[in-house]
Amino acid sequence: MSIVKSFSVGSGDMFYIKHDSDNFSTIDCCYEYDDEWKVQLDEIERQSKYKGISRFISTHPDDDHIKGLTEYNERFKILNFYCVRNEATKSDESDDFKEYKNLRDSDKAFNLYKGCSRKWMNESNDERGSAGINCLWPVCENEDFKNALKKAKKGESPNNISPIITYSIGDTKFMWFGDLETDFLENVEDEIAFSHTSVVFAPHHGRKSGHLPSGVLAKLSPHIIIVGEASSSDLDYYNGYNTITQNSSGDITFDCDGKKIRIYVESETYSVDFLDNEDCDNTLGYYIGTLYLR
């Protein structure tokens, strides 16, 4: 069994994966320095306690994806920091951006690119199994990506330096896009090996600016699209697809065994009509149904 958790953090992203192997992964962070938000770090500490390998995956260094990174690193002592190779700058550097740069430019950094491999990211050995994480993008030689790197280096938006990563267990696959924008994806989609994916976290928190192009959606054929948190007027609700909207659901927890996904949310009143009912208890949140991977 594995757990994938999407925290409700307002206009930002923060996830963790408690793998079915001896691995634990955090993807991005966005939280405040107060007692109300530290509950997320407490949960990460509990869930990662007995895992031999922990990694932090940073999609890109916008504040809503690295807010709280300084405290996170102080508490967990990041040894494996995953990011694309970049030289992003900011005209006004926050402490968390400075922490990002320190990690990015340190010997703790592992650079993500299409097809990259590493123990125990996606390689197993006699010591422990793979985390099941793979990277579909970037292609470092791609001109659009190189232009995105140049813009980020000049202090412009780093959205389009985001990698595309997947986590797989059995027949289940999750996909993250960071804050990749629609026009960028349209330009590069032919270089990316998209295939059927169970759960897709919509780019750019589900905003219209990150709407997945129709060609990409056709290849992904997702069972569920998670629409993140942003102003409702900015969101794309992906009509015609099964969606969970985090503005309304709060935290979302996916309990996976490779053949089905039991889904729990923070809101007691949230519901959807496209999942099967196994009458599960509410130990991981409020149970809203099960997705069978038929």
- Nearest Cα neighbor of 190 from 227, 225, 218 is 218
Residues 6+ apart with CB under 8 A from 240: none
Q: How far, in Å, CA of 24 to CA of 110, rounded?
A: 16
pLDDT tens, residue order, the chain (294 aa): 999 999 999 889 999 999 999 999 999 999 876 666 688 999 999 999 999 999 999 999 999 999 999 999 999 999 999 999 999 999 999 999 999 999 999 999 999 999 999 999 999 999 999 999 999 999 999 999 999 999 999 999 999 999 999 999 999 999 999 999 999 999 999 999 999 999 999 999 999 999 999 999 999 999 999 999 988 899 999 999 999 999 999 999 999 999 999 999 999 999 999 999 999 999 999 999 999 997
What is the predicted pLDDT for the residue at 35? 67
H helical segments located in the chain: 38-48, 63-66, 69-76, 95-104, 143-153, 182-188, 214-220, 246-249
What is the predicted pLDDT for the residue at 270? 98
Q: How far, in Å, CA of 199 to CA of 90, rounded?
A: 33
Angle between helices 95-104 and 69-76 (to 10 degrees): 50
Residues 6+ apart with CB under 8 A from 221: 196, 197
Q: Assign 3-state DSSP to the chain and report helix, strand, coil percentages, each to 5.
A: 25, 25, 45
The CATH number of domain 2-292, selected from 2.60.200.30, 3.60.15.10, 3.50.50.60, 3.40.50.460: 3.60.15.10
CA distances from 8 to 22, 28, 134, 160, 260 (A): 26, 13, 25, 23, 23
What is the predicted pLDDT for the residue at 36? 64
Residue for token digits 């909207």?
245
Other Cβ atoms closer than 10 A to 147: 13
Structure tokens, 49: 């306690």
68: left (phi over 0), alpha (psi -120 to 50) or beta: left
What is the predicted pLDDT for the residue at 230? 87
Maximum Cα interatomic distance, the chain, rounded to a whole number of Å? 53
The tens digit of pLDDT for each residue in 251-285 reads 999 999 999 999 999 999 999 999 999 999 999 99
Domain chopping of the chain, boundaries: 2-292
What is the predicted pLDDT for the residue at 25? 98
Q: How far, in Å, CA of 23 to CA of 131, rounded?
A: 6
The tens digit of pLDDT for each residue in 126-156 reads 999 999 999 999 999 999 999 999 999 999 9
